[in-house]
Structure 1
């Protein structure tokens, strides 16, 4: 008896400038009943509303573009119009759907108001990606000499903001009995790094918060997961920068924001419906044994 009963394939070509030309592939494989596998790489987020917190950052922008290109209405959230409106224009110019939303993740009242406005206008929230915040960058220092304002900003933006935004999103997702929540953590949250202690603490908190929230929301058909990137390209990159980055991992290459967006798209899709509370590491093998800087 042939295990594969029926194979149907349809290919649709579409024009896009996001990530090059996209090609829609749909296949339905009817294997030994009652199993059925559906594969679709275009339009899988049609009629979904995706809220991207930190949408103007390198990873946030990549997530916005990827989800919009696959049919989602994307809410690009950030602190200033100057940073998020260009992303919205980039997406809508290509014929996809995006809206700007100014949000202050350090202000609980503002978070509440913005999420209420999103629900009022779009009626549902299907996907939340929290990509706001980051390290202290040029202000990083050993904890004994770190300024308290830097510590407060990192913990508030990276961790407290993630908790509050997911709290508001979860209220709506429980009503819908569906949702995908995705946090962006870091491999530094797994292993720590000297000079980035407050950042490591915030990202480690994201990983364990992911697990706890997944336990609370799993029965409501809400998948909560996070992604831990390694070093990822931000802005233009020079050969010198590439030489430095490739020494930090075992794939001998450098990560791109699109690599993180690929993982986010998977976690936001129905294909990840049996995955909850997990930390997906996307680092070219860096965390197999930390190398370099």
Structure 2
């Protein structure tokens, strides 16, 4: 197998994001012919076609889309190396690499981080599938993700979160005590982009399927912040987890999904031996998080 240069991955990501060799070359401050040659070298090394090229567009192939997700993780890790080395020299504490879905950033991480003061913590916002792969590669020490039990890792279900419907504040049903999806049949819905968050996308899709409702997507996003911003703008509604619903967002109203039977598990996954004893630290803050959720129920807005 050919070793892949970090430089080639940077070039590839620039072309992927710009969808143009000309714009990517300008962004990289280089001429276009060497950039085209570098991408051709990468394709030859990997024995795949990464882009469909024409005189009018440059579009990634399925192989290109898969490589992009992995390349972004590898480049992020490469960019962290100088800082990791300096930290090791200046502060000889063990680095702790945490991956987390974005919904944990407002409620869970602020409680967890103070329990990790004996580490140099590096947190990366990552989708659940990305975290699972990174943990398998040894690139993460702790993954906070939405998934099910994995027998190859040590894992705990930290929370089973209820689901809420996020509505524009001026929606006619915004003052409902609870509601179900058939009440919103035909209205626009804001969903996660499946390529970025397949676990979240599939979980929400199953909620619609169980309710016998076909979603009418008006946007696909990569974060809860973008999702709630579009809800507030009146583009549609969204199905969100309880931790998201407990954090106020201007212009939205959170209404519990009727029934309460559907939940979204938030899991903490570590290497099998949990070498840094991270799961007990999470257990220590679980009662506080659960109390926060209890206080928010019935008053989410």
TM-score by length of 2: 0.22
Pair member with larger Rg: 2
